[in-house]
Amino acid sequence: MLFNSIDFAVFLPIVFLLYWFVANKNLRLQNFLIVVSSYIFYGWWDWRFLSLIIFSSLIDFFIGKKLSICEKPSSRKFLIGASLALNLGLLGVFKYFNFFIDNFSQAFSLFGIALNPNRLSIVLPVGISFYTFQTLSYSIDVYRKKMEPTNDLISFLAFVSFFPQLVAGPIERASNLLPQFYRKRIFNNKDASNGLRQILWGLFKKVVIADNCAEYVNIIFSNSSSHSGSSLLIGTLFFAFQIYGDFSGYSDIAIGTAKLFGFRLMKNFAFPYFSRDIAEFWRRWHISLSTWFRDYLYIPLGGSKGNLLSKIRNTFIIFIVSGFWHGANWTFIIWGFLNAAYFLPLLISNKNRVNLDIAAKGKFLPSIKEFIQILFTFSLTLIAWIFFRAENTQQAFAIIGELFSYSILSAPYFPKQFSVLPYLLLIFIVLEWIGRENNFAIEKVYLSCKLFYRWTFFSFLIFLIVMYMQTKETPFIYFQF
């Protein structure tokens, strides 16, 4: 079920009414309703994949209970190893089996040996990378004795399957989200209103910005060899706003929806395109995944401790694994490697934690230095996004080559149907900049504007969403991961 669909527009009010008006006096019934609703939400794509999420949930629930009564180190290591093997094994089969088998056969072909391996004809379950990491955070934290295992199966199933963030995050930690299922929730009008505004902003990002950009991006990247450097540059620029509007839009809708039910999800985006260096960008982009890799991979590897070579090794590992997490394609691995290379000068010079605050905080405009830093960082990100969007590495390198050719000076291909898009992007960027010190951009509108101007603005956003809402449902980009 998609957030930007009629199905969800009907589903959400029904669940909301049942949750607050039927089950509101019984916490366990509320949690059970969340489980049932989440399974309906997830099973809307393909009910058969429900078995995977239920299996993964039950495995980690019972492993957690076993870890609570097991003190023998070797047994505890076996249990956490079993959790890792089963969860990552499922992820590996569905997401990476064909990638490895294809590359294995290609390696043999270099020596003149032809292999015809059997590939799996399977569909990647929606959200498997997200809920797998969510359940693993629970098992690892229980193993590390950072939290007590739960005996409440319903609450645990609700934690794993919580429908607002189930298929594309934020990837919640058990230590943050699971305890919220133990506490009685009381409807808070202020939080619910704030959640509705965040949902509205998320829909605007997805429907008006991302989906409109996607149309031009698909035209350019589907036949990139026939387009000039100038057209490819605009296509890459639009893709940057497409993926940001699409993914951060999903996160806004997820966080806003959770607020309607009395839950607080972690912030997943913090205006990353206003970053002044790559380190800051990665502190602001997909925060739930970046911090997950930091806590469960980077720090166990040694983190920033040890000598410079160890720091460099750990940095490249975390970025390359992050790239591979996004997809079974060499383009994602190179994307991760490229971001690690961007990060390297900051690491070596020990300047990776210089820009910890928002750009031009308390000011209307950035300084010239900050503007140049933001522009340079965004330019580096654009080059990396080419690998993220390209079908293969050959296409990515060809596009980059064309960007640095004389064709960059030619007139771009830009049909009249997209003539309004630059103005929409300009409005979007201005609103994001003005609201960059808040949790989401238009939160400031509510805090600072009078009632008439506030509702005029919200009505304008709703008008644009309705006007640009496509008759064909458009999935979110990160559903494929």
Per-residue pLDDT tens digits for 107-141 = 666 666 666 666 666 777 888 889 999 999 999 99
Please give the sequence-ordered ranges of beta strands (E in DSSP) within 151-254, or none if there are none.
Answer: none
Q: DSSP character for 67? A: H
Domain that holds residue 419: 190-276+355-480
Q: Is residue 224 part of a domain?
A: yes
Q: How many CB atoms lie within 10 A of CB 2?
A: 17
Q: Is residue 114 part of a domain?
A: yes
Q: Is residue 99 part of a domain?
A: yes
Catalytic residue among 212, 326, 327, 386, which? 326
* HSE value, Cβ hemisphere, 13 Å, CA-based, for 112: 0
Please give the span between the terminal C-alpha atoms of the chain, in angstroms, as a whole number. 16
When divided into structural domains, the chain yields a total of 2
Nearest-angstrom CA–CA distance, 83 and 136: 7
Q: Are residues 167 and 52 in the same domain?
A: yes
The phi and psi torsions of 357 (rounded to 5 degrees) equal -105, 170
Q: Are residues 21 and 109 in the same domain?
A: yes
Q: Are residues 107 and 79 in the same domain?
A: yes
The token pair that represents 120 in the structure block:
């799996």
Q: Are residues 40 and 62 in the same domain?
A: yes
Q: Are residues 125 and 216 in the same domain?
A: no
Q: How many CB atoms lie within 10 A of CB 7?
A: 13
Residue type, 361: K
pLDDT of residue 406: 93
pLDDT of residue 319: 95
Q: What is the CA radius of gyration of the chain?
A: 23
Q: Identify the segments of the chain with pLDDT beneath 70.
A: 100, 102-104, 106-121, 446-447, 471-473, 480-481
Q: Are residues 62 and 200 in the same domain?
A: no
Nearest-angstrom CA–CA distance, 171 and 254: 11
Q: Are residues 239 and 140 in the same domain?
A: no
Nearest-angstrom CA–CA distance, 194 and 306: 45
Q: Is residue 303 part of a domain?
A: no
Q: Is residue 57 part of a domain?
A: yes
Q: Is residue 254 part of a domain?
A: yes
* HSE value, Cβ hemisphere, 13 Å, CA-based, for 219: 17
Nearest-angstrom CA–CA distance, 156 and 179: 10
Q: Are residues 176 and 195 in the same domain?
A: no
Residue 310 makes CB contacts below 8 A (sequence gap 6+) with: 302
pLDDT of residue 105: 72
Q: Is 227 a catalytic residue?
A: no
CB 105 within 8 A of CB 115: yes
CB 288 within 8 A of CB 322: no
How many helices (H) and strands (E) the chain has is answered by 19, 0
pLDDT of residue 469: 83
| 150 closest CA partner among 179, 117, 108 | 179
Residue for token digits 């490895």? 100
pLDDT of residue 454: 86
Q: DSSP character for 84? A: H
Q: Which of 144, 162, 186 is where one domain is finished?
A: 186
Q: Are residues 142 and 220 in the same domain?
A: no
Q: Is residue 133 part of a domain?
A: yes
pLDDT of residue 102: 66
Q: Are residues 112 and 218 in the same domain?
A: no
Q: Which of 186, 205, 227 is where one domain is finished?
A: 186
Q: Which of 186, 214, 245 is where one domain is finished?
A: 186
CB 286 within 8 A of CB 247: yes
Nearest-angstrom CA–CA distance, 126 and 251: 16
pLDDT of residue 468: 87
Nearest-angstrom CA–CA distance, 463 and 442: 16
Q: Is residue 344 part of a domain?
A: no
Nearest-angstrom CA–CA distance, 66 and 385: 44
CB 231 within 8 A of CB 130: no
Q: Is 453 exposed, middle or buried (0-12, 13-18, 19+ CB in 10 A)?
A: exposed
Q: Are residues 460 and 405 in the same domain?
A: yes
Q: Are residues 112 and 81 in the same domain?
A: yes
pLDDT of residue 251: 95
